[in-house]
Amino acid sequence: MKTRFRLAILAVALAGLSAGCASRQTPAPESFQPVPVDPSAYSKKADTFIVVLDTASSMERTSRKRREADRAQEIVSRMNRMIPALDYRAGLVAFESGSCLSCDDAVVLYGLSAYNRDEFAAGLDRHAAAGRSGRSSAMGGGTPASRSILERHPGRTALIVVSDSENILHGRTFKTVQKLKGVLGARLCIYPILMDQDCDGRAVMAALVNVGGCGFAVGADEIASPQDMARYVQEVFLAPAAAPVGAAPFSGMTDSDGDGVPDNRDRCPNTPKGARVNADGCWELRAVYFDSDQAILKDTKVLDEAAVILKANPDLTGEVQGHADSTASAEHNQTLSEARARAVRDYLIRQGVAPERVAVKGYGETRPAASNDSVEGRALNRRVELQPDRR
């Protein structure tokens, strides 16, 4: 109801724009030679990027609609060819005219998985072929996109919505974006790409950015050239790289903890030696997540990194904090959170961390990271976090 009301108000506000703003079509893209981006000069601005192709009505078999859909996929293909080889996770999703007329969410075409340029391109090609044939290109049996994304705990997320004014004014994208925003909060930034030059569509794109609270909108013609696409990729995907650990970041500036960020910009003093930090000098510890009612470790990559840092810093201790969602009794969730914390502590000990350096505490369901009213929120609450400290 809130979404329909918001879109109705937006439609009234946009009505006055239509008289002075004609819907113009941008020309077909020309040949494209990617401009290389040096990843060594940057760090990741996001952990995950999701591309949403909101082009369902463009799949109609008319020459104009087909050209619009082809151009949208060409823009995404160009972007894919210029994304630097950093350890992103990626997804490609779409609203499809055949499989999703009766639902409010897009379907998954690729991912969410470790970013692979060639596999991402293959997913895009399958979607193009499916559009021409009228078949669905969905993966995973048409799993709704927001559920698929959030179940994989995307971290900082860049959501890139590719649409024309006809599709974006239908409002389906708003529902998907609001689902993601409700769980990811400040970790979500939105980057719409408008395929035509319609002013109403541009205004709605700006409203989409406002839902996320960060990001920006562009028209497809603004990022058509290789140089413009290179700038776009840098602004969406990349942040300045922190200086190497132990390096003097600037001549004459003090860097007390040796993390490469000078003290006058360091928001996290006393960073552990060897920890990878962001541009603010902070060690970004990610949580470890669990299946429902389970205390079995699924992915130990985060813990392997934490073990290395702990062993390199003998004066560093940590509290392993376990959490649970609210689907069972409070007593059961307290016991489960403690079991999850012990599983993490036991793993760190097996990696060579002294037992006395790692404390365990379970918080049950008392400290949710997201709402327990949704599947996605409960998945984010089934977690363990490591809180470091100095002895």
Alpha carbons 346 and 355: distance in angstroms, whole number: 8
pLDDT at 79: 94
Contact of 159 with 180, CB cutoff 8 Å: yes
* Residue pointed to by tokens 């365990």: 360
List domains and CATH numbers for the chain.
24-240 (3.40.50), 288-390 (3.30.1330.60)
Backbone angles phi, psi at 274, to 5 degrees: 90, -10
pLDDT at 26: 45
pLDDT at 346: 93
pLDDT at 83: 92
Alpha carbons 367 and 363: distance in angstroms, whole number: 7
pLDDT at 145: 64
* b/e per residue 298-321 (b: at least 16 CB within 10 A): eebebbebbbbbbbebeebbbebb
Query: Residue 40 burial by CB count (10 A; 0-12/13-18/19+): exposed, middle or buried?
Result: exposed
pLDDT at 322: 95
pLDDT at 227: 87
* Residue pointed to by tokens 């390199």: 312
Per-residue pLDDT tens, the chain, 391 aa: give them. 444 444 443 443 344 434 445 444 444 445 677 777 766 667 788 889 999 887 655 444 556 667 777 888 899 999 999 998 888 999 998 876 533 333 455 678 888 888 999 999 999 988 877 666 555 544 444 556 666 677 767 788 899 988 876 666 555 667 777 777 877 787 888 898 988 776 766 777 787 788 777 888 888 888 988 888 988 998 899 876 654 444 444 555 777 777 677 877 777 777 777 777 766 677 766 778 898 999 999 878 888 888 888 888 888 888 999 999 999 999 999 999 999 999 999 999 999 999 999 999 999 999 988 888 888 778 888 999 888 876 6
Q: Which residues pair with 385 in a beta bridge?
A: 321
Determine the straight-line distance between the first and last CA of the chain, rounded to whole angstroms.
Answer: 53
Contacts of 383 (CB under 8 A, 6+ apart): 287, 288, 289, 290, 323, 340, 369
